[in-house]
Amino acid sequence: MVNGRNNRINTFREWVNLRIYDSKPLVTKLLGYASAPLSIVAMAALIAYHGFKLNPAESAWVEFILKGTIGFYIFKYLMEIFYSFSPPEFIRETKWEGLLMLYMIIDILCINLLGIEIISMAGQAMGFEKLDQLFMVAIQAYFLLFAALETGKASVLLANLRISPPALLVLSFLVLGCLGTGLLMLPEMSTDGVGLSILEASFTTISAICVTGLSVFDVSTVLSFKGQFILMVLIQLGGLNFISFASLLAFFASNKKGLRYNSLLQASYSAESLASGLDLFKQVYKLTFTIEAISAVLLYFTWGPHIEFVSVGQQVFYSVFHSISAFNNAGFSLFTNNLMEGPIAGSYGLHLVIAFTLIFGGLGYSPLREVLSIKRIRDRRLHPWKRLSGNTKLAFISAIFLLVLGTVVFWIFERHGVMHHFTTEAQWVGAFFQSATARTAGFNTLDFGQMALPTILFITFLMFIGGNSGSTAGGIKTSTFALVFLSALATIRGASKVELFKTTVPLDLLRRAFSVFLFSLSLIFTSVIALSITDGHLGLAKLMFEEVSAFCTVGLSMGITAGLSEAGKIILMISMFVGRVGTVTLAFALSKSRKETATYKYPDAQIEVG
């Protein structure tokens, strides 16, 4: 009987498909053509609403445009179901989009029939203020989700562009930088209602998308809530951007052209194939948002009784902001003196939560995935002979070694310095935090301007090394430093090859490591010389510290960032940008060995070295 009913349904659907077949191309084309201009208009309306002070009539027009656009997206989705040859299969393939549409339809019905708004009810239960504005915020959030879905569908077109993966990586950061600069210049993004200057906005944006944390002004007082929210979004996008665009292309472009973009994942994140790249794409976002969510919850409960927030909503926002800033190793804080602010300086539980969050962010996605993935854990349990990969072992060993080394050295240098008034426990927590944050996080619980010169030099060394490959951290990466060190050690010992964990390191990897090492040193040296010309009066030690912090996307400062000349700030902006994408791009460019174009070989050179 069930089979008979299914046959009748299939027969009816086939009859419908035959009747609508001729109109499908026209309707699909019209909906596609209407989607782009409506999205542009709605985005402009959204920017106007948040960027400028609008009167009630203008606000009503913005609300009408956004609601109308979302109504169009709902209609478009329903039409796609109607014109699909197999609606159930289409719904299964677009389940997340379908759930979003279903919720919107239910929400609209509840508002018009029952006078109940689901988001407002949830906000009231959580104790949020200004409930009358929550529906408008929800509408805007829905629109952004719809726009993201449409962008995802359109991303397959990028595979047809004749742009190399490294060039596309740089281009994606430039586009994101321009958008962020434009948004932060809007009047409503600053507390004075005037907006940031182009230099302030561009410097802050570059620092955010490069997850550095250097700032030329106090973001806690200069930026409004809207500006701080944009800054948080830029940090999140910057932290994920250089793998997100590649993984998205691999996800949506499952064809031969898409495979060349997937090489970005394979080169830097040990993705063996397109399938593993797709798996990485999903797990990266699961890991990121899971760790950030856990960190935000822990921060919410560890702010301490002496830290007063004006509302529950503000406490939630501060928790989420610092969680995202920590995991992405950005170092931006919503307090004037970073984590040295009043009672926060003594909230050691808070310090440990942020420290471990940024440590996880700096470990890299591949090691985290291999260690924390339930599938990998189950596989190792069922097959005891399987061990962690050499990449994961190196990531954890180097991270632990540098954390311990940094903690001990910092405690030795500063226990009678900036930490002389601390208890022994507080000294060790402070030393551990500075050791963790020095490797590209940028948070500080102590004043680096008051530290001894040996401490500054050692912190500079940690900043230069940075975090692990495939992470949100900067620096030359621990794997790069390890390979350079092992190669030098092998040379001293007279060994003909470099070995690590009972494996032989390929020559191509060593060449790539030396290229990144020398490229980074050369640019830092050049930039320090340029800064000594533009801002030499600030002292060479401070300029070197600032430049290494910028290039290695750390964000620590000895308090001279705001006092730099315009030329000096531009030099730091270039350093942050090149430090974020330059070394990665170089690694990508060298990731695929090229075949020799000639069959001959010149005689071996005899050159004296040393």
CA-wise closest residue to 350 among 328, 367, 372, 333: 333
**Which of 197-211, 489-503, 557-571 is predicted least confidently?**
489-503
pLDDT for residue 273 is more than 50: no
Q: Give the CA count within 13 Å in the CB-facing half-sphere of 262.
A: 22
Is the pLDDT at 98 greater than 80, yes or no? no
CA-CA distance, 150 to 148, in Å (whole number)?
A: 5
Which of 519, 485, 512 is CA-nearest to residue 401?
485
Name residues whose C-beta falls within 8 Å of residue 131's C-beta, 6 or more positions apart in sequence.
Answer: 120, 123, 124
Q: Which tokens hold the place of 141?
A: 């959030």
- Dig out the tokens for 48 from the structure: 């106007």
Distance of CA 75 to the CA centre of its chain: 33
Q: What is the pLDDT of residue 205?
A: 92
Least confident of 107-121, 361-375, 416-430, 515-529: 107-121
Q: Which two tokens stand for residue 519?
A: 């490229």
The pLDDT score that the predictor gives to residue 7 is: 63
Mean per-residue pLDDT for 460-480?
82
pLDDT the model gives residue 146:
58
Does the pTM surpass 0.75? The reply is yes
Q: Say which range, 238-247, 260-269, 487-496, has the weakest mean pLDDT.
A: 260-269
pLDDT band at residue 254 under the 50/70/90 scheme: very low
Q: Tell me the one-letter amino acid at 549.
A: S
Type of residue found at 172: S
Q: C-alpha 306: how far from its chain's center?
A: 31
The tens digit of pLDDT for each residue in 596-609 reads 555 666 676 656 55
Which one is predicted more confidently, 184 or 273? 184
Residue 86 pLDDT greater than 80, yes or no: no
* Percentage, residues of the chain above pLDDT 90: 9
Task: Between 508 and 587, name the one with better pLDDT.
Answer: 508
* Lowest-pLDDT choice from 98-112, 201-215, 218-232, 295-309: 98-112
Identify whether the C-beta of residue 362 lies closer than 8 Å to the C-beta of residue 468: yes
Q: What CA–CA distances, in Å, run from 28 to 21, 84, 252, 351?
A: 11, 11, 19, 54
| Residue 16 confidence (pLDDT) | 64
The whole-number pLDDT of residue 181 equals 92
**AA identity, residue 71:** G
pLDDT at 515 over 90: no
Q: Which helix (H) or strand (E) segment is 503 a member of?
A: strand 503-504
Kindly list the distances between the CA atom of residue 597 and the CA atoms of 183, 587, 594, 600, in Å, as whole numbers in the listed order. Answer: 49, 22, 9, 9
Those residues with Cβ within 8 angstroms of residue 573's Cβ, 6 or more apart along the chain or in another chain:
202, 203, 206
Name residue 364's amino acid: G
pLDDT in the model for residue 258: 45
Q: What is residue 196's predicted lDDT score, i.e. its pLDDT?
A: 87
Distance, CA of 328 to CA of 213 (rounded, Å): 10
- Residue 374 predicted with pLDDT over 80: no
Name the more confident of 167 and 512: 512
Burial of 70 (0-12, 13-18, 19+ CB in 10 A): buried
Count of all residues that appear for the chain in the document: 610
| Number of other residues whose CB lies within 10 A of the CB of residue 279 | 17
Cα 579 from Cα 209, distance rounded (Å) = 12
Q: What is the average per-residue pLDDT within 490-516? A: 80
The pLDDT of 581-592, averaged and rounded, is 58
If you write DSSP's letter for every residue of 126-179 in order, what string do you get? HT-S-GGGHHHHHHHHHHHHHHHHHHHHHGGGGGGS---HHHHHHHHHHHHHHH
Indicate the domain borders of the chain: 1-160, 389-589
Q: Is the pLDDT of residue 570 over 90?
A: yes
What's the confidence (pLDDT) of residue 69?
A: 79
| 527 band by pLDDT with thresholds 50, 70 and 90 | very high
| Nearest CA among 120, 119, 71, 77 for reference residue 96 | 77
Continuous segment of H or E residues that includes residue 287: helix 274-302
DSSP codes joined into one string, 579-592: HHHHHHHHHHHTSS
d(CA 398, CA 481): 10
The mean pLDDT of the chain is: 77
Nearest to 126 by CA among 311, 291, 300: 311
pLDDT at 150: 56
In the predicted model, is pLDDT for residue 213 greater than 70?
A: yes
CA quadruple 415, 416, 422, 423: dihedral sign: positive
Intra-chain end-to-end CA distance of the chain, in Å: 87
Q: Which of 195-204, 508-517, 583-592 has the highest mean pLDDT?
A: 195-204
Structure tokens given for 411: 């405690």
